Amino acid sequence: MKDQQIEERAVTAHTPRITARKVNVHYGTSHALKDVDVDILANTVTAFIGPSGCGKSTFLRCLNRMNDTVASAKVTGEILLDGENIYDPRVDPVRLRAKVGMVFQKPNPFPKSIYDNVAYGPKIHGLTRNKAELDEVVESCLRKAALWNEVKDRLDAPGTGLSGGQQQRLCIARAVATAPEVLLMDEPCSALDPIATAQVEELIDELRSQFSVVIVTHSMQQAARVSQKTAFFHLGNLVEFGKTEDLFTNPKDPRTESYITGRIG
């Protein structure tokens, strides 16, 4: 079958962490996502690309059940995390979200201090035993998110007082601090300058050694730079999903080709 072929084409013998089959999402009467099948492999960066409103964020939010919070959203189909259906009634979405972390499209730091923003996840999950350990986690996460040098002297300052790009990096640090196994990032670099973008891309590459990363991006170059697999969405359909270099150099679907060459969007 088609998905197995994709797996065979993967260079290394990665195992799928998340397997999505026939995922449909309705917002009220509007059908936002149609029969999407995607495999997110371990230690791989997967990029979602596609024109605005095609359902990238919607699909991303299905992967950690953030769509539960949208009353009108109805998700059908099957999404397995390590072989377990995440929509099983026995699954506690809270535990799922601790494993599958998320960085949102719009930066949303807590109206608390920078330190507390990063420390919140480790605190509620009991990941650290004492203050010194927590300090260490906060520092390393802020360093990973390329924010440490800018905020190390004002960790007590409000997180909402940072610039838009700094806020987004703070949110990345916050998501990394809970040590997720899969990290979902919805356009994490849309508010960042090229330097910070490069740093975040470096972080993504680094994270790949431990977790799977899914990144939504509008930048084809970014998808090409950081990801090993790319999925192209169009009007709620998954049009094409494959190895990044194949998709960009040799698109199978005419819609993919016109999108990556800039003719639709």
Partner 1 sequence: MTDFIAGAAAPKTSILGVSAKMRRRNAAETRFKAYGIFAITLSLSVLALMLWTIFSDGLSAFRQAKMTFPITLTAEVLDPKGNLNRDEMAKITTVGYGKLLAQAFEAELKAKGISTEGVSAKELGALLSKDAPGVLRAEVLANPSMVGTTQNRSILASGRVDGYLKGRVTRETAERDNQISPAMLDLADRLVAAGILSAPFNTRFLTSPDASDQRPEAAGLGVAMIGSAYMMILVALICVPIGVAASIYLEEFAPKNRITDIIEVNISNLAAVPSIVFGILGLAVFINFAELPQSSPIVGALVLSLMTLPTIIIATRAAIRAVPPSIRDAALGIGASKMQTVVHHVLPLAMPGILTGAILGLATALGETAPLLLIGMVAFVDNYPAPPMEGMFDPATALPVQVYSWVTRSDPAFVERSSGAIIVLLGFLFVMNVTAIILRRKFERRW
Ligand X SMILES: Nc1ncnc2c1ncn2[C@@H]1O[C@H](COP(=O)(O)OP(=O)(O)OP(=O)(O)O)[C@@H](O)[C@H]1O
Chain residues that interact with Mg ion, rule: CB under 5 A? 57, 105
The window from 14-22, 152-160, 197-205, 211-219 that contacts partner 1 (CB under 8 A) reads 152-160
Residue 209: name its binding partner from partner 1, Mg ion, ligand X, none (Cβ under 5 to 8 Å by kind): none
Q: Which two structure tokens, joined as six digits, stand for 217? A: 């991006």
Q: Does 175 bind partner 1 (CB under 8 A)?
A: yes
Which of 32, 41, 66, 151 binds partner 1 (CB under 8 A)? It is 66
Q: Does 95 bind partner 1 (CB under 8 A)?
A: yes
CB of 174 to partner 1, least distance (A): 6
Q: Does 170 bind partner 1 (CB under 8 A)?
A: no
By CB under 8 A, what part of segment 119-148 binds partner 1?
A: 120-121, 124-125
Q: Does 27 bind ligand X (CB under 6 A)?
A: yes
Q: Does 178 bind ligand X (CB under 6 A)?
A: no
By CB under 6 A, what part of segment 32-91 binds ligand X?
A: 32, 52-58, 70, 72
Q: Does 1 bind partner 1 (CB under 8 A)?
A: no
